[in-house]
Amino acid sequence: MAPAASTSSSACPSAPDLKGANAPLPADLPISSFLCEPNAYLSSNVEETHSGGHGGSLSRTNKNNVGIFHDESVKRQAYYDNSCIDGAHPANGHCEGSNSDDLLRRSNENQCIQTDLKPGLNLHSFQNGNDDAGTFILGRNMHHDCLSITEPDIDDESTGDKEAYMAGVLARYRRTLVDRTKYHLGYPYNLDFDYGALAQLQHFSINNLGDPFIESNYGVHSRQFEVGVLDWFARLWELEKDEYWGYITNCGTEGNLHGILVGREVFPDGILYASCESHYSVFKAARMYRMDVVKVATLVSGEIDCVDLKRKLEERKDKPAILNVNIGTTVKGAVDDLDLVITTLQEVGFTENQFFIHCDGALFGLMMPFVKKAPKVSFKKPIGSVSVSGHKFVGCPMPCGVQITRMEHINVLSRNVEYLASRDATIMGSRNGHAPLFLWYTLNRKGYRGFQKEVQRCLRNAHYLKSRLHDAGFGVMLNELSSTVVFERPQDEAFVRKWQLACQGDIAHAVVMPSVTTEKLDNFVEELIESRARCFEGGKVVVPCVASAIGEENCACSKHCAS
């Protein structure tokens, strides 16, 4: 079930026996033939053994594969086969031919193919990417590996076969998760948490639908926890209780979508400015909201180039400015200089009622306050909103985030909502009520001091990783305020996949989170060195030049290293 560490573009297996115990319904059998008319169900390929009772009760005859655990392997193979059941029919399925080629073709049609295609490598894209969905590997189509859903046999309840089968699938999946969790360096997710105390609540359908501050009639909610969390963050970013509004989002993207929407509502004809290393969701927002967007250049470090920003602002002085400021870019962990951005706006002549700043603090929004001398994200400055992810530094088993904005802006957002007699200020409607519990629990346990310690440890470990890579002759960069270590992209794709590294062009990065120990880093560096040696004949390593991506001073190629 686990994706193999190698590139996968195998063609589908041949069509399986449709009568296998867990075979899905044949694809050419119209749904209508078994809906509402249960007795017509599975009229072909399957022999009816019994019918009657409310809702119909039918069974298929082939019981060859119906074992419990000892037949697991057979069943599992059947699953894989089933998932590609249409493979033998090129006209019917994602599974046709080589998916790699297929998807590539589609991608070409879409004119969004990346240019740095390397022979033997999958396509990577981490363009402008932040964490979320940042890295895609084209050519890996999940229909290969998908676990088809099969109709239960009528006697499943008595035999327990299906239950046992599913237990087997889940147990195997669990093993995969344990393994994948172990080797994980490329994404800024803190996997170090223990939420055992919350297990008792997992089976409740907790839903904070709508506004966090206004209770709905649905009683199974966790708003009392959510508002506690929001207060904590508002405090962190120095906004008074009666002056803020916010909510717990589903992910960093929702925070950006919200922040930029608020900005647009405040300035309907505003132009969106964002550095080209901003998260792609910022540009997605612009497209969704039909806003004009101006991409601003970045420095080698990855932070916004305020000289370029100034020039671009000057050209468009007549329109209000909505700015996305990165409190940590995804790829390089670069922090835009908020104070310099504000100064730049002022220099060009923008007054505070002519601009709106959204701070995308996906990862560093929570780390920065605990870093000495770091520029401060604070609502005492003229910013409009801040978002941060909850599943990153805090650590949470599900994606989530926190969005905080000024109450006055939410009032603007709500003012035109004629279709609702209440405040409708969230992007989503139904909202996950478990995420607030996880955040509340962690924040309470760790407190500001606990986070401070963790941030310090992460920064220390990031420096440790940088030193080790540098000593081993790798080109490597670490921004001052960051725990994201950027280095030459490993040439061995299996290694990249094993360690789940996010790559862009010639560079890769490792994000040192609280769950990353020096032991893990040692292990990583040693494997990286071995992997690199294997890529060169006789182990004679030629270090690539990555000066354009991380600066000459950080490059370890023969030219820059010598100079």
Interface of this chain with its own copies, residues 100 to 139, rule: CB under 8 A: 103, 106-107, 109-114, 123, 125, 127-138
Interface residue with its own copies among 23, 46, 78, 95 (CB under 8 A) is 95
Site string for its own copies, 356-375 (x = CB under 8 A): -------------xxxxx--
Question: In sequence order, what are the residues at sequence separation of 6 or more whose Cβ sits closer than 8 angstroms to the Cβ of residue 416?
Answer: 265
Out of 456, 491, 518, 531, name the contact with its own copies by CB under 8 A. 456
The secondary structure of residue 144, as a DSSP letter, is T
**Binding string, residues 228-247; x marks residues near its own copies by CB under 8 A:** xx-xx--xx-x-xxx-----
Beta strand residue intervals within 361-398, DSSP E:
385-389
Rounded Cα–Cα distance for residues 88 and 97 (Å): 9
Which of 66, 78, 206, 322 touches its own copies (CB under 8 A)?
206
d(CA 477, CA 469): 10
CA distance 509 to 528: 13
Nearest-approach distance from CB 146 to its own copies, in angstroms: 4
Taking CB under 8 A as the criterion, the residue among 254, 305, 336, 360 binding its own copies is: 254
Helices (H), 475-556: 493-498, 518-535, 547-550
What residues between 52 and 71 interact with its own copies by CB under 8 A?
A: 54-58
- Smaller CB separation from its own copies, 115 or 351: 115
Report the residue count for the chain. Answer: 563
Residue 346 to residues 10, 341, 378, Cα–Cα distance (Å): 57, 9, 18
- Please pick, from the candidates 35, 494, 542, 561, the single residue that binds its own copies as defined by CB under 8 A: 35
Q: Half-sphere exposure of 218 toward its Cβ, with a 13 Å CA cutoff? A: 17
Dmax (CA) for the chain in angstroms is 85
97, 346, 467, 547 from 90: Cα distances, Å: 7, 61, 52, 46
The span of 61-69, 340-348, 471-479, 497-505 binding its own copies (CB under 8 A) equals: 497-505
- Please, which of residues 147-166 interact with its own copies by CB under 8 A? 147-152, 162, 166
Alpha carbons within 13 angstroms on the beta-carbon side of residue 358 total 37
**21 is a contact residue toward its own copies (CB under 8 A):** no
**Which positions from 529 to 558 touch its own copies by CB under 8 A, shown as an x/- string?**
------------------------------
Q: Least separation, in Å, of the C-beta of 348 and its own copies?
A: 25
Task: Identify the residue among 46, 78, 261, 555 touching its own copies (CB under 8 A).
Answer: 261
**CB-hemisphere CA count at 13 Å for 464?**
17
Stretch that binds its own copies, among 250-258, 306-314, 338-346, 472-480 (CB under 8 A): 250-258
Give the C-alpha separation, 246 to 28, whole Å.
49
The one-letter amino acid at 422: S
Q: Does 426 bind its own copies (CB under 8 A)?
A: yes
Sorted by sequence, the CB contacts under 8 Å of residue 77 that are 6+ apart come out as none
Measured from the CB atom, the residue of 3 and 382 that comes closer to its own copies is 3
- Min dist CB 144 to its own copies, Å, is 9
* Packed helices 161-182 and 72-83: angle between N→C axes, nearest 10 degrees: 80
Nearer to its own copies, 168 or 473 (CB): 168
Which CB sits closer to its own copies, 225 or 350? 225
Catalytic choice (222, 275, 482, 483) = 482
Stretch of 66-74, 302-310, 498-506, 540-548 lying at the interface with its own copies (CB under 8 A)? 498-506
Identified binder of its own copies from the candidate list 225, 356, 474, 487, rule CB under 8 A: 225
Name the nearest CA neighbour of 387 among 325, 340, 472, 478: 325
User: Site residues for its own copies, window 262-301 (CB under 8 A)?
Assistant: 279-281, 283-284, 287-290
Name the region of 301 (left: φ>0; alpha: ψ -120 to 50; beta: rest).
alpha
Helix (H, G, I), strand (E, B) or coil at 77: helix
Please report how close the Cβ of residue 236 comes to its own copies at its closest, in angstroms: 6
CB of 242 to its own copies, least distance (A): 5
Minimum gap (Å) between residue 538 Cβ and its own copies: 30
Question: Catalytic: 467?
Answer: no
Closer by beta carbon to its own copies, 344 or else 365: 365
Q: Which is nearer to its own copies, 167 or 543 (CB)?
A: 167
Please calculate the CA angle 68-71-72 and round it to the nearest 5 degrees. 85
- Any contact of residue 524 with its own copies (CB under 8 A)? no
Cβ 131 vs Cβ 363: under 8 Å: yes
> What does residue 480 show for φ and ψ, rounded to 5 degrees?
-55, -45
How many residues bind to its own copies according to rule CB under 8 A? 189
Q: Is 396 one of the binding residues for its own copies (CB under 8 A)?
A: yes
Residue 362 near residue 392, CB atoms below 8 Å? yes
Choices 67-75, 198-206, 309-317, 353-361; region in contact with its own copies by CB under 8 A: 198-206
Residue 503 near residue 135 (C-beta atoms within 8 A): yes
Which one of the spans 174-182, 316-324, 478-486, 530-538 is the region binding its own copies (CB under 8 A)? Answer: 174-182
- Between 223 and 468, whose beta carbon lies closer to its own copies? 223
Query: Is residue 502 part of the contact set for its own copies (CB under 8 A)?
Result: yes
Closest CA to 29 of 47, 12, 41, 18: 41
What's the rounded Cα separation, in Å, for the pair 103 and 109?
A: 10
Catalytic residue numbers? 482
